[in-house]
C-alpha cells in the first residue's frame, strides 16, 4: 500500500541569513511542507514542538550558536487578568471579531499595507504584493480562520459580526489543544485602545469558550524589544530542551 508522503515529512535546512530580531547575528531555519490530508495533524505536532506555520510551510529556528528564540504559549485556564488587561478589554468593547474562512480581500490588503508602512516599513514583509498577501491567507492545508474585527452594530449580538470599516485582522490556526496566532495586523491610526493586546485577549477568551488549554503566540526573543510584549501574558509556558514548562519570567505586567 502506497502511503501519502505527508506520513514521512522531509525536513530541510536554510542557508544562513541576517537575523530579523537581533542585530549582527545570523539565523537558519529547519522547515517542512504542510500538505495533504494529514496536514492539520502534522501542524498540531510540529506547533507543539516549537514550529510556526507560514502558508504551507512549518519552520523553526535552527541557529548553530543562538537559542534566543523561545516558543511561548499562554495557559488559558489560569490566565491572569491584570487591571491593565481589564481596562483594555473594557475600552475595546465596541469591537467584535467575526470568524471567517481563510479568504483574502482588498480591504484586508489595504489595512495590511497601512499597518506595515506604519509599524514595519523596513521589515521582511514590506514588499509583499496583493498576490503575496493572498497566498499568505489562503495557501493553507490546515484548519485556519480569519478573524475580522469591526465596530459592533445593532445586530451584532445576533450576527456575531461588526459593521463599518475593518479595524484589525488575525490569521489563526485551530488546533487540537489551542489556537495559534499565525499573524495579525490592525489600523495603525486607531488610538482608542491597544488593539494588538485586545486581539490576544480575545483569542484567550475564544480558546476558553472552546475548552482549549493554550493560545500559541510564536517566539519570544530575549533582547528583542518588539517581542517583549509577549511576556505580559501570564502564566505562560516556554519550550525548552526538556519540553514545555511554566515560565519563571518576572517581567510580567503588574496589576
Model confidence pLDDT, tens digit, residues 170-196? 999 999 999 999 999 999 988 778 999
Asked, for residue 183, whether it belongs to a domain, the answer is: no
Residue 208 has a pLDDT of: 98
For residue 201, pLDDT over 90 is answered with yes
Residue 2 has a pLDDT of: 40
Question: What residues make up the domain containing 40?
Answer: 5-69
Mean pLDDT of 190-203: 92
Which has the higher per-residue pLDDT, 157 or 19?
Answer: 19
Instruction: Decide if 229 contacts 220 (C-beta within 8 A).
Output: no
Residue 121 has a pLDDT of: 62
141 DSSP 8-state letter: S
The helix (H) or strand (E) run that includes residue 252 is none
Residue 247 has a pLDDT of: 86
pLDDT band (50, 70, 90) for residue 80: very high
Any idea which residue has 495579525 for its cell?
184
Per-position b or e across 18-54, b if 16+ CB within 10 A of its CB: ebebbeeeebebebbbbbeebbbebbbebbbebbbbe
Asked, for residue 21, whether it belongs to a domain, the answer is: yes
Per-position b or e across 181-208, b if 16+ CB within 10 A of its CB: bbbbbbbeeeeebbbbbbbbbbbbebbe
Asked, for residue 173, whether it belongs to a domain, the answer is: no
Query: Mean pLDDT score of the chain, rounded to an integer?
Result: 90
Mean pLDDT of 151-159: 83
What grid cell was written down for 142? Answer: 490546515
Asked, for residue 62, whether it belongs to a domain, the answer is: yes
Asked, for residue 19, whether it belongs to a domain, the answer is: yes
Asked, for residue 157, whether it belongs to a domain, the answer is: no
Which has the higher per-residue pLDDT, 120 or 29?
Answer: 29
Estimate to the nearest angstrom the gap between the alpha carbon of 151 and the chain centroid.
22
HSE at residue 91, side-chain half, CA atoms within 13 A, is 16
Mean pLDDT of 138-142: 95
Q: Give the whole-angstrom CA distance, residue 193 versus residue 108.
A: 20
**What is the value of pTM for the model shown?**
0.90
Least confident of 126-140, 152-166, 239-253: 239-253
Residue 207 has a pLDDT of: 98
For residue 122, pLDDT over 70 is answered with no
Q: Strand, helix or coil at 160?
A: coil
Any idea which residue has 531555519 for its cell?
29
Asked, for residue 48, whether it belongs to a domain, the answer is: yes
Q: Give the whole-angstrom CA distance, residue 168 versus residue 177.
A: 25
Quote the number of domains for the chain.
Answer: 1
Q: Give the whole-angstrom CA distance, residue 14 versus residue 32.
A: 11
Asked, for residue 37, whether it belongs to a domain, the answer is: yes
For residue 15, pLDDT over 90 is answered with yes
Amino acid at each position: 500500500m502506497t502511503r501519502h508522503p505527508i506520513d514521512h515529512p522531509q525536513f530541510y535546512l536554510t542557508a544562513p541569513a541576517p537575523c530579523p530580531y537581533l542585530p549582527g547575528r545570523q539565523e537558519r531555519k529547519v522547515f517542512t511542507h504542510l500538505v495533504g490530508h494529514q496536514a492539520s495533524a502534522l501542524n498540531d505536532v510540529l506547533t507543539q514542538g516549537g514550529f510556526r506555520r507560514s502558508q504551507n510551510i512549518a519552520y523553526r529556528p535552527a541557529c548553530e550558536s543562538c537559542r534566543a528564540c523561545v516558543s511561548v504559549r499562554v495557559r488559558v485556564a489560569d490566565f491572569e487578568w491584570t487591571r491593565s488587561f481589564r481596562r483594555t478589554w473594557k475600552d475595546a468593547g465596541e469591537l467584535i471579531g467575526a470568524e471567517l474562512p481563510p479568504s483574502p480581500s482588498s480591504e484586508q490588503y489595504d489595512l495590511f499595507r497601512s499597518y506595515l508602512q506604519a509599524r514595519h516599513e523596513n521589515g521582511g514583509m514590506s514588499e509583499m504584493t496583493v498576490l503575496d498577501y493572498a497566498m499568505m491567507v489562503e495557501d493553507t492545508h490546515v484548519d485556519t480562520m480569519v478573524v475580522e474585527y469591526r465596530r459592533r452594530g445593532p445586530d451584532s449580538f445576533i450576527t456575531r459580526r461588526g459593521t463599518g470599516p475593518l479595524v484589525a485582522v488575525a490569521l489563526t490556526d485551530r488546533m487540537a489543544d489551542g489556537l495559534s496566532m499565525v499573524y495579525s495586523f490592525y489600523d495603525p491610526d486607531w488610538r482608542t485602545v491597544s488593539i494588538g493586546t485586545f486581539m490576544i485577549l480575545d483569542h484567550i477568551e475564544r480558546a476558553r469558550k472552546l475548552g482549549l488549554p493554550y493560545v500559541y503566540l510564536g517566539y519570544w526573543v530575549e533582547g528583542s524589544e518588539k517581542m517583549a510584549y509577549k511576556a505580559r501574558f501570564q502564566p505562560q509556558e516556554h519550550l525548552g530542551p526538556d519540553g514545555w514548562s511554566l515560565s519563571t519570567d518576572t517581567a510580567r505586567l503588574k496589576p
